[in-house]
Amino acid sequence: MDDTLAIFHATPMSTAFDYARYDRIRPIRWTGNTLELLDQRQLPFLTDRVVCHSSDEVARAIRTLTVRGAPAIGIAAAWGVVLAGDAVEAGNGAEALVSLQPALHRLNAARPTAVNLAWALNRMQRVLVDAGNDWRLRLRDEAQRIADEDLASNRRMGTLGAALLGPGSGVLTHCNTGSLATGGFGTALGVIRAGVAQGCITSVFASETRPWLQGARLTVWELQQDGIDATLIADSAAAHLMKTGAVQWIIVGADRICANGDTANKIGTYGLAIAARHHGVGFMVVAPSSTIDMATPTGGDIEIEQRDPEELLEIRNVRITADGIRAWNPVFDVTPAELIDVIVTERGMVERPSRDAIARLWE
């Protein structure tokens, strides 16, 4: 890579492949008056949907990981605002904005690390500022627009990211970044889908992603639905896998990208980046531009969500440790920008991310 090149906007290669073949799952479904969410806690053995009738039920679904993945959380929250609007009386958008503040606060507090949540809620609020008596319709239109834009962005990112992969590439992904985590196609998994479709990826590995096992329960199942062969590995096997030469790229998503390029993602990502740098493996972060948070200077400024320690002490309500054992359960870690080779967004790609390069992409 040319050391003078910090940012570039690529022209997508031909996308002759059939998107529908590689993108069969939709976790979020708006029915017109309720929000149906595929319960990701039950996968892969049950494909139940949770029906949300209120914004508080949407907030609960986000908090309990019924729906998860930064883009999907934002989309669900947008529809949560629509449901909140159906429950208040207001003559115009400004009045509605005042009445909706408690619901907006509860939605925003459901998952503090994923910046897409606050981004989507801010978009919904901006719609109300100058809305007249049609404010409910405008909220619905904006929520649908957020969902549609996410799908289009994911498809573009898939094409851009796949263009960086050499023929015969092996890739490793962490957590779940596919259709289950987005409006469709996926971020990091979208790059993998596009790479498989274009024939440049020959092997796909997925880490189990403790403690919620999103890789084991969701990613390999989702790829199986699309006919993509994937191999599951233990989280602790990743460095050894890189040492064997089976992997040329680590491809992950992001819940927040700071102004300097530091990136928060599922716990375990930081360790993968360190191992990748040691073994000469490329490290790619794939996320929509809505994940970039210019108001957060560095990764040290990110609030890292801590979840219930019981999630480490049991699996599906079955205790796996002795009584009295303590656990520490951060959900995310922060990968420093200097360990990231490229960040792929729908706006373009940034090599060797830095504060200046992120600012130029943002502008």
Strands 49-52 and 35-38: antiparallel
The catalytic residue positions are: 255
H-helix or E-strand spanning residue 220:
helix 220-225
CB–CB of 31/86 below 8 Å? Answer: no
CA dihedral defined by 294, 298, 303, 307, rounded to 10 degrees? 120
Tokens of 281: 């493996």
Radius of gyration of the chain (CA): 20
CB neighbours of 145 closer than 8 A, spacing ≥ 6? none
CB–CB of 178/219 below 8 Å? Answer: yes
Tokens of 274: 């360190």
Residue with tokens 């049950």: 46
CB neighbours of 228 closer than 8 A, spacing ≥ 6? 22, 192, 193, 196, 204
Q: How far lies 271's CA from each of 110, 177, 341, in Å?
A: 27, 18, 15
Question: Which backbone phi and psi does 38 adopt, to 5 degrees?
Answer: -65, 120
